[in-house]
Each structure stands twice: as structure tokens, then as C-alpha cells.
Structure 1
């Protein structure tokens, strides 16, 4: 069995085993999500330390499958441990947005200190551009930004875990093609840990991943994306993570613009995310989540095609796929709205 498959199945099994223990711990520590506002779609208190099980399954398997003397491996593992500690504090004590952001930046500095930095960006006129002294700032912006995109989209049962699994598998396939050893193992571990957690998190959820899980997933995905880009130094390696994580990136960008236009703090939660809009248009939680899984699969498939058949062909496939998806999605939403009106 290839090492990455061994890592995948080990992380999945461990995450599945650890989740019931995380549920008990959450109740004991008082890390409970109580439905106290209209933004939340669940009706009863649910424990929210599930991310601890994802992290534990990922980390134990990582210690057995990754070369721990490698600087980038160490940077990602240490940094992810710090971001999980921040998430646990937030799930229990509800940290202020400013404090949480400062702690996220502190965690992101760790992989940067171990040499994981964006030093090249795509030149729109062809080739790559060396960014030199701006590499640290851009890397921090990328890691902290993606860490928060997963946190923002974690609003329905199974949504963040499923999208992260799809993004991880997409990056796994691309990294395999680019022959990136450690990034392949990292993405296999992350995909496995998410899938092992999903039976407890899919609607109706028995446990939420909380900020502990959402920030951990975003942190690892963003750090591994940079690590793979540094090693391959190709245009594709930088664009693929953006496509794989296209849905949470779009949702976060739209949320920032929406809140700015409405004169609200950017970090203030609201009910305007894409998953909320799907629910408000008549979809059930399961339907909305599956709809967004399908959208992520389209983006992930286009990312893989970009490596296999070229950028122009992949962008054409993406355009056709999104147009078809949008049209069928609109038709489905209209039918659901009519059903709701007729009831």
C-alpha cells in the first residue's frame, strides 16, 4: 500500500475513534454551542470541540508517517498545535476577534520561521515574479486568511469537514502529479481525519468541530499549499489551492464586502453566508451541504484538469461547469421555493 493511503486510513480511523472522547470532554469543559441567535440553524445545545479529534487523528498519524526532522514538517506541526490551542480557548471562552487575530498571526509566524514562505507569484503576462522582502507579509496574509475562510463557512452540519476533505483530496492528486512527497502525505492525513469525523458531524450532527477544527483545517491547508508551491515553483502549484478552496474564499470575500457596505465590523458574524442563503431559499441542511459539496467538487476537478490538460482547457471546463451548475442550481432552488410557498 502506498504510504499516503496508509496515512489516509490511519488518520480516518483515529479521528473516528477520538471523536466520542472529544464529545465527552466538550461537555465537561462547557464548550457547548447553544442556539441563541437566528444565525444558528441547530435547535439544541451541541458540543463543539470536535476539531480536537480531527487534530488528534491527524497528528498521531503524522508522527508515524512524516519525516519529523524536515523543517517544513516541523513548522506545520508546531504551528497547527498552536492554532488548535487558540481554537480550544475560543470554543471555551469566546475570545474577542482582535485577540483571536493576533494569536492567529502568532501561529502563522511559526511555519514562516521554518522556511515556508510564498516567494513567487504568478505574472499575469506569463511566468513568475519574485516578491523577495514581501514574502513574509504575503505568506502571513495567505495563512491567516485561509484559516478564517474555513472558520467563516463552518455554519452547517458537515460543511467545513466535507469541503476540507474535497480540497485535501484535490491537492493530494495535484501533489502526486507534481511528485511532492510531504505535501502528499499531509493532504492524505487531513482528508482522512475529516472523513473519520464526518459520521458524527453530518446532519443531524452529534458534535461540531468548533473554531478548534475550522482554524486547524484552514491553517494546515494553507501552510501545505505554500510548502508545495515553494518546492515545485510552478504557476499551477499556486493556483490549485485557490481553486480547491474557491468556495470558502468566495464566501469570505463576499462577507467582507457585504459587511463593509453595511457599515458592520468585518469579523462580526451574520446570516448572509452562502449556506444561509440556500437554507432561506427552501433547502434543507442536507440539501444545502450536498449542493455546496458538488460545487467544491467542480472546482476541485478543474484544479486537477489544470495539471493534466493545461490551464486554458481547465478554465474553459470551469466556465462550462459553473454555468451548468448555476443554471441547474437555480432551477432546483426555484422548485424548492414553490414547494415551500405551496405548503
Structure 2
């Protein structure tokens, strides 16, 4: 490993830790607190907005990468702008709640920037449109799923490592940096939450992971369906919960506690246990992903479809059990 990496990667972790510590003290001074409530899964007032540490760490890493690889400056600049837009609207919402449609419009603008990068790299307009839709969805999915201690951060760590393992250097560093930035935040949020990520962090994490998926789709030959497998825990829980709310005529954009992980908490399980179970499922997901990433595209698609069917069946079984 080059000396620069041996210095730079631990620095990413240290910066994330220091910035999270600073974000917590800022939130306490500004009384930026998440209060307990019927639609919340925590029982005590807790500072929020700690995800800004992950965002700033990623932006600093992108700036360093732009210096190291001048040819990638434009791409890194566009990604950084999109990340800043998603984080910025989340930061605003953490301080002064905004209408959902306003946040969604900003998410779509940021997703369009990422889609433009995919179009430029792949030459496929269809690929670019799919990237826009996927990115907009993942930004909101990560926000929906950030409801208990450690769950969103630990899943992001797994995703970062999963994509780092299948991409060539230097692209793999993007996944490693994301994992380290999240790891620096995690001790402040798990097992006991001393600060929450807030919308500034959860939405930005969704954007960063979407960028990793898009990057992997253009620098590897892996079927795009298989690229979804490391994210399957969140895609299945958020996707089918949203679908069930829409089919039942509920206001699906409102905050709620109907996700599988929230039902488990309401049934008496601890945050630590539920996050650990999602982490174990995530480990199985990235193992399947890594083991099958060298197959022919049609077999990768078959594996992905089979895994998603399995994940959906497990979700239905557990959800029905918690309902009863």
C-alpha cells in the first residue's frame, strides 16, 4: 500500500471522529434536538445533525482526490456539488422543517447531476435516466430507514466495503473512504445515541451510496441488478412498506413507524439487537454479491432476482409475525 494511503485513510477516520464531536457540541449549543414522540423510536431528547461530519469528510476526501487525479476533477466536482445540495437542504430541514416537495425537488436536481455523469461515462441515456430515478429514491430511502441507533450508518459501511471489493483501484478508494467516514460517526450513534445523523446525513449517505452504485456500473461489468444486492435490506423494507402504505390509502410521505425495523422496536426489541440483525443480513447480502460478481451477466441477474425474492419473503414473514 502506498505511503499516501497509509496516512490518508486513517486521516479520513480521524477527521470524521473530530467533526462528529464538533457537530454534537454545536447541536447542544443551538438546542438542535430530536424530541421523543409517537412517530419516533427513541425515548429521550437527542442532538441531531451529526451527519454533517460524514458529508464534510467526504467533500474533503473528494478535494484531495481531485489534487491526486487531475483528470477526475470535473467528475469529482459534479459529485461534490450534488452531495452538497442534498446535504444542504437536509441541514436546512434539520434547523427549520421544510415541505417535502421542496426537499424532493433539490434531491432531483442533485440526482440529475449524477445522471449526467453516468450519461457522459456510459453514453446511454437510458442508463442515465435510471441513475436519476435510482438516486432520488435512495436519498429518500436512507432517510426513511435512519430511525434507530446505528442502522443507517452500519448499512452504509457494508455497502461501501462491498463496492470497494469489486471495483479496480483507484475507484475502490471511494467505497473505503465512505466506510471510514461512517465508521468515525458510528461510535457517537451506536449502541447509545449521543447524536443523530439528521436529514443532513441520511439523505447525503443515500446520495453517496447511489454514486457508488453508478460508479460500479460504469467501471465494472457487473449486472446492474446484482449491484442492488448489497442494499437489499433497505430496498426491500422501505420499498414494500411504502407500497403497502400507498395501497392502503395512507399519506405515504408522512413520518410513520411501520417499517419492519420500527415494528420490531415497538414489539420490545432493543435498538442494538435490531441493528445487529440488519447488519447480519447485510453481511449475507454482500457475501452473495461478492461471490457472484464474476458470473456471466444473465446469471448475475438470476442471482439478484432470487436474492430479492428471498429477502421479500423473509420481510413478509417477519412483518406478519410482528403484526400478530
Specify if TM > 0.5. Answer: yes
8 Å CA contact 1:75–1:112 kept in 2: the answer is no
Aligned to 1:42: 42
8 Å CA contact 2:233–2:282 kept in 1: the answer is yes
Tell me, in whole angstroms, the C-alpha distance in 2 between the residues paired with 1:221 and 1:111.
Answer: 12
Aligned-residue offset at 1:203: 2.4
Aligned-residue offset at 1:97: 0.8
8 Å CA contact 1:225–1:237 kept in 2: the answer is no
Aligned to 1:123: none
Tell me, in whole angstroms, the C-alpha distance in 2 between the residues paired with 1:17 and 1:279.
Answer: 31
Aligned to 2:59: 59
Within the candidate set 78, 82, 93, 1:79 is matched to 82
8 Å CA contact 2:139–2:205 kept in 1: the answer is yes
- TM-score, normalising length from structure 1? 0.81
Within the candidate set 173, 181, 192, 2:170 is matched to 181
Aligned to 2:19: 18
Tell me, in whole angstroms, the C-alpha distance in 1 between the residues paired with 2:165 and 2:7.
Answer: 15
1:83-232 equivalent positions in 2, closer than 5 A: 83-113=86-116, 115-117=117-119, 132=125, 134-175=126-167, 179=168, 181-182=170-171, 184-232=172-220
8 Å CA contact 1:118–1:139 kept in 2: the answer is no
Tell me, in whole angstroms, the C-alpha distance in 2 between the residues paired with 1:7 and 1:251.
Answer: 36
8 Å CA contact 1:150–1:160 kept in 2: the answer is yes
Unaligned runs of 5+ in 2: none
1:268-283 equivalent positions in 2, closer than 5 A: 268-283=254-269
Tell me, in whole angstroms, the C-alpha distance in 2 between the residues paired with 1:13 and 1:266.
Answer: 39
Tell me, in whole angstroms, the C-alpha distance in 2 between the residues paired with 1:22 and 1:264.
Answer: 35
Aligned-residue offset at 1:21: 0.6
SS of the residue 1:238 aligns to = coil
Aligned to 1:126: none
Aligned-residue offset at 1:102: 0.6
Aligned-residue offset at 1:5: 6.2
Aligned-residue offset at 1:277: 1.9
Tell me, in whole angstroms, the C-alpha distance in 2 between the residues paired with 1:295 and 1:272.
Answer: 20
Q: Specify whether residues 188 and 237 from structure 1 end up closer, same or farther in structure 2 by C-alpha distance, changes over 3 A only.
A: farther
Aligned to 1:124: none
SS of the residue 1:223 aligns to = helix
SS of the residue 1:21 aligns to = helix
8 Å CA contact 2:53–2:185 kept in 1: the answer is yes
1:253-264 equivalent positions in 2, closer than 5 A: 253-264=239-250
8 Å CA contact 1:161–1:198 kept in 2: the answer is yes
8 Å CA contact 2:118–2:128 kept in 1: the answer is no
Aligned-residue offset at 1:110: 2.5
8 Å CA contact 1:118–1:229 kept in 2: the answer is no
Aligned-residue offset at 1:74: 1.8
Tell me, in whole angstroms, the C-alpha distance in 2 between the residues paired with 1:265 and 1:8.
Answer: 43
Q: Deviations over 1:55-83 (max 9, x none)?
A: 12222233224435513222111211121
CA RMSD in angstroms, aligned pairs only: 3.1
8 Å CA contact 1:40–1:155 kept in 2: the answer is yes
Task: Give the count of matched residue pairs.
Answer: 314
SS of the residue 1:50 aligns to = coil
Q: Specify whether residues 151 and 79 from structure 1 end up closer, same or farther in structure 2 by C-alpha distance, changes over 3 A only.
A: same
Tell me, in whole angstroms, the C-alpha distance in 1 between the residues paired with 2:120 and 2:261.
Answer: 31
